[in-house]
């Protein structure tokens, strides 16, 4: 019967969100009652410049199927260039993933200001849909 049919496993998306912008935008999205998939788990960071390459890789290794880093708009980082460093790190992680045979689209950088609640909801939805399309990251499930 339908109740016995196994539902496809839902992907997990980890979002490192800067407290000054993307985190506030997520908060605004909630206040505006905008919905985005529950697949997205938000990690509050003081600046995306604090997100190191190993944080992204460890997230993927520990169960995330996709990771996004969401920081202030270019030129608006409270720590000057934290978001630019994050952008470079995300680009580098993408090259590492490619070398490992993993689709680099599993990791993305976004710039979202505090007043862009609707953009946060859109980005969270699109990222989840992309990761759903790519499927569950197999290396997570093959490890014992
Ligand atoms: Fe927001 Fe640096 S303070 S990305």
- The per-residue pLDDT for 80 is 96
Q: Is residue 140 part of a domain?
A: no
pLDDT averaged over consecutive 10-residue blocks of the chain (144 residues)? Answer: 69 98 97 96 98 98 97 97 98 97 97 98 98 88 48
CATH number at residue 95: 3.40.50
- The per-residue pLDDT for 144 is 44
- What does the DSSP assignment read for the chain? -GGGSPPPPPP-EEEEEETTTHHHHHHHHHHTT----TTEEEEEES-GGG--HHHHHHHHHTT-SEEEEEEPPTT--TTSSHHHHHHHHHHHHHHHHHHTT--GGGEEEEE--TT-HHHHHHHHHHHHHHHHHH-S-HHHHH--
Q: Is residue 7 part of a domain?
A: no
- The per-residue pLDDT for 7 is 75
Q: Is residue 111 part of a domain?
A: yes
Ligand 1 binding pocket mutation candidate from 16, 17, 18 (most atoms within 8 A of CB): 18
Q: Is residue 67 part of a domain?
A: yes
Q: Is residue 6 part of a domain?
A: no
Task: Give the chain's domain count.
Answer: 1
- The per-residue pLDDT for 138 is 85
C-alpha–C-alpha distance, residues 129 and 114, integer Å: 23
Give the residues across from 70 on adjacent strands: 17, 110
Q: Is residue 3 part of a domain?
A: no
Q: Is residue 34 part of a domain?
A: yes
- The per-residue pLDDT for 16 is 98
Cβ < 6 Å from ligand 1: which residues? 18, 20-21, 47-49, 71-72, 77-79, 82-83
Q: Is residue 56 part of a domain?
A: yes
Residue-range definition of the domain harbouring residue 115: 13-134
């Amino acid at each position: 019967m339908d109740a016995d049919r196994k539902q496809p496993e839902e992907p997990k998306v980890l979002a490192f969100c800067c407290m000054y912008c993307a985190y506030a935008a997520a908060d605004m999205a909630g206040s505006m009652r905008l919905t985005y998939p529950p697949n997205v788990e938000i990690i509050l960071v003081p600046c995306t410049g604090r997100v190191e390459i190993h944080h992204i890789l460890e997230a993927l290794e520990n169960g995330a199927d996709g990771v996004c880093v969401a920081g202030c708009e270019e030129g608006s980082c409270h720590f000057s260039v934290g978001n630019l460093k994050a952008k470079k790190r995300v680009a580098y992680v993408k090259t590492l993933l490619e070398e490992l045979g993993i689709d680099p689209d599993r990791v993305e950088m976004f710039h979202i200001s505090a007043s862009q609640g609707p953009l946060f909801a859109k980005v969270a939805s699109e990222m989840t849909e992309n990761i759903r399309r790519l499927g569950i990251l197999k290396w997570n499930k093959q490890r014992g």
